[in-house]
Amino acid sequence: MLEEYRKIAGSNAIDEIQLIADRLKGKTVLHVNSTAVGGGVAEILNRMIPMMTELGLKPKWELIKGGDDFYAVTKKFHNALHGHEQDLTPKDYQVYKDTLKMNMEGMSLDYDMLFIHDPQPAALIEKRNSSKNKWIWRCHIDISHPAEEVWDFLKQYVLKHDAMIISAPNFSQKIPIPQMLVPPSIDPLSDKNKELSDEEVKKIMARLQIPTDKPLITQVSRFDRLKDPVGVLEAFKKIQHYVTARLLLVGGPADDDPEGAAVLAEVRQMADGNPDIIILCLPPTSNIEINAIQRASSVILQKSLKEGFGLTVSEALWKGKPVIAGAVGGIPLQITHKYSGILVRSIDGTAYWMKRLVHEPEYARRLGENGREHVRENFLLTRHLRDYLLICLYLESGKETFIRL
Amino acid sequence: MKLKASEPFKFRTRLTLVQATGRKAGNIMELLEGIRESDDSIIYHHTHRFLKQFHFLVPEPANDFAYWVNNILQEEKLGEELASVEIVRFNSLEAIKRAFVEILERHLKQVSEPMRAVSSGKEFHFLRSIRFSIPTSHQARDYAEFIECLRNVSVSTLYLHVFEARLRPPYGVDDFSNWFLKQFNDAEIQKAISRLDPYSYTLEGLRRRIIRILEQRIQEMKNA
């Protein structure tokens, strides 16, 4: 599997991973999270576990088991860590503790390295019986402004780990354990990101009945106010007089999401009678279609008003496209303004840059190229794996800041 | 001149892991205080790692401090001054730190208007690089082997030996020059490599340039 990534991530990136892994050969590694399918964590682990095995480590992946009441509580934890105050009762905390206690009884935790993903399995640390094992709490959530009560509760477990991993600098906390920064990553071999031939792209665009006779400016995002599709439409309307282009808004069907349905209706009404605005609802499994749409576009937007990490930006940059994106969440880590994309804070700014990038394809191409290289270096799955391995070495070395092997 | 080196050049690679310190700055005073209290691993992160992270860009952004002051705080004049600190001309991280501290102190003495501050979420975050120096399988004993290795090593290797090497003894000298001088008494190589400026090349461009320097040197020696 590693060899498949060699061509994409670069030979040296794979060689480096192998050099590090040589120092960790035979080490047992446990990953614990709460779901085997769906969601970014499961997607990454599904690929990473076989890669670790190929590298000579002995990884295992365990799932936390719990009832509906447990997941209701951890959902509240999740929302609270995102900064939304939740109504948690003493019984809720007890459900969490009891479920974790039950899991501890059925799970062997005798591994050299343990990666504990997100709040669900955090209390497993209570079963730690040796300081030789290295425990790492991997937080995939934006905890920049956590609700205090829940964070205080979880912190008692987090602080017993040897290190915590966060995805962006602004998620860091004032705590006494090392906080390693490991951004999420995209899998360049997945349907959403793999290379497609021009022929394949054309076929998919024809099947979706999206005309490609004019440059496409595209935003792929849920119809959600925080993704600001209304702002995107307004910005496009401002430049229509000067620019020959189409705007394409692609989102999910929003059938079971009343707010999403309201946003979609508003967007449809705004676009009514404007032949150069296309609104498309695709089912959530449309990975290859999204891939083709992004590749057929001239400019890609992600005009979010609030984001977690906003990994969709890296997905677009990976296709070598110039991206205009809101300067929120983890997006500024992925785009350096005017070097590897464009960061915007307003509708006017978005309109200005849309116009410029359509009119200056050479500059737009350079942004896209730089963006792709930035993703190659920093946001591919292989870098994610390398960072995990380096963390193992760092903890084994006694947390030195300079390690010569 | 001897044909084979008694000690081979062993290429290593530099990998880094980023650690958040939890400290942040929202204005120039806080930036200055943060830099003053930063250790080498923090200064390294915001200067050297930054340079390597964007190695494919020409012109490259100068350093993290300048980027934040210029683009986020929008203090363009100060940003320009901070960008002018030529990271690779310094022989220690402490000296680089002093250069930034002096510029910021001078700025704070000169300005009379109220200090600009950024809104929540746009602060400067002080980060630390945990550095790993890892041996690779590439080794060279003569000029030709050296060129062959140079074609195949990673840009991290290149960066480590050409620029970061100047921060450790013998200070101010890159590893390549040092080896050619010690093993072949070749001072010409040192002269050529020490003139290379990372702000004018991508690291890939730099790789090509060093290979060209060595190829020319082989030709000169053949002609001599």
Count residue pairs from A and B with Cβ separation < 8 A: 102
The region of weakest confidence among A15-29, B45-59, B105-119, B196-210 is B45-59
For residues A189-209, average pLDDT: 96
Q: Does residue A221 contact residue A227 with C-beta atoms inside 8 Å?
A: yes
Out of B18, B132, B137, closest to residue A393 by CB: B132
Q: Is residue A405 part of a domain?
A: no
What is the structure's pLDDT at A105? 92
Collapsed DSSP state (helix, strand, coil) of residue A186: strand
Is A213 in the same domain as A247?
Answer: yes
- Partners of residue A18 in chain B, C-beta under 8 Å: none
Out of A19, A391, A405, closest to residue B17 by CB: A391
Is B59 in the same domain as B100?
Answer: yes
User: pLDDT at residue A27 above 80?
Assistant: yes
What is the structure's pLDDT at B100? 97
Close Cβ partners of B174 (under 8 Å, ≥ 6 residues apart): B161, B162, B163, B165, B166, B193, B194
If phi > 0 it is left, if psi is from -120 to 50 it is alpha, else beta; for residue A365 that is alpha
Structural domain total, chain B: 2
Q: Is residue A404 part of a domain?
A: no
Percent of chain A predicted with pLDDT > 70 = 99
Pairing of strands A216-220, A246-251: parallel
What is the structure's pLDDT at B202? 76
What is the structure's pLDDT at B54? 57
Distance from the Cα of A353 to chain B's closest Cα (Å) equals: 17
Which domain, by its residues, includes B154?
Answer: 137-223
Residue of A nearest to B120 (CA): A170
Mean pLDDT of chain B: 88
Residue A183: DSSP 8-state:
-
Out of A12, A172, A370, closest to residue B125 by CB: A172
Which domain, by its residues, includes A163?
Answer: 2-185+380-396
For residues A46-69, average pLDDT: 95
State whether residue A328 sits within 8 Å of chain B by CB: yes
For residues B64-70, average pLDDT: 92
Residue of B nearest to A368 (CA): B57
Give tens-digit pLDDT for A374-387: 999 899 999 999 99
Q: Which band of pLDDT confidence, cut at 50, 70 and 90, is reported for residue A131?
A: confident
Q: Which band of pLDDT confidence, cut at 50, 70 and 90, is reported for residue B166?
A: confident
Last residue of a domain, one of B128, B158, B186: B128
- Partners of residue A403 in chain B, C-beta under 8 Å: 130-133
For residues A134-157, average pLDDT: 94
What is the structure's pLDDT at B172? 82
Selected residue with higher pLDDT from B119 and A94: A94
Instruction: Print burial letters for A151-168: b (CB count within 10 Å at least 16), e (below 16).
Output: bebbbebbeebbbbbbbb
Is B114 in the same domain as B54?
Answer: yes
What is the structure's pLDDT at A400? 87
Instruction: Compute and round to an integer the Cα radius of gyration of chain A.
Output: 23
CA-nearest of A330, A325, A261, A321 to A290 is A321
**Alpha-helical segments (H) within chain B:** 28-36, 40-44, 50-53, 64-67, 76-83, 93-110, 143-152, 155-162, 175-184, 187-194, 203-223
User: pLDDT at residue A144 above 90?
Assistant: no
Q: Which helix (H) or strand (E) holds A4?
A: helix A2-9
Residue of A nearest to B155 (CA): A12
Distance from the Cα of B205 to chain A's closest Cα (Å) equals: 15
Is A152 in the same domain as A259?
Answer: no
Percent of chain B predicted with pLDDT > 70 = 92
Is B62 in the same domain as B152?
Answer: no
User: pLDDT at residue A93 above 90?
Assistant: yes
Give tens-digit pLDDT for B7-38: 999 999 989 999 999 999 999 999 999 999 99
Is A259 in the same domain as A348?
Answer: yes
CA separation (Å) from A65 to A38, A80, A105, B26, B93?
A: 16, 21, 12, 43, 50
What is the structure's pLDDT at B198? 64
Q: Is residue B5 part of a domain?
A: no
Q: Which residue type occupies A89?
A: T
Q: Does residue A334 contact residue A184 with C-beta atoms inside 8 Å?
A: no
Give tens-digit pLDDT for A258-267: 788 899 999 9
User: pLDDT at residue A276 above 90?
Assistant: yes
- Partners of residue B39 in chain A, C-beta under 8 Å: 401
Residue of B nearest to A385 (CA): B17
User: pLDDT at residue A320 above 90?
Assistant: yes
Q: Is residue A193 part of a domain?
A: no
Q: Is residue A135 part of a domain?
A: yes
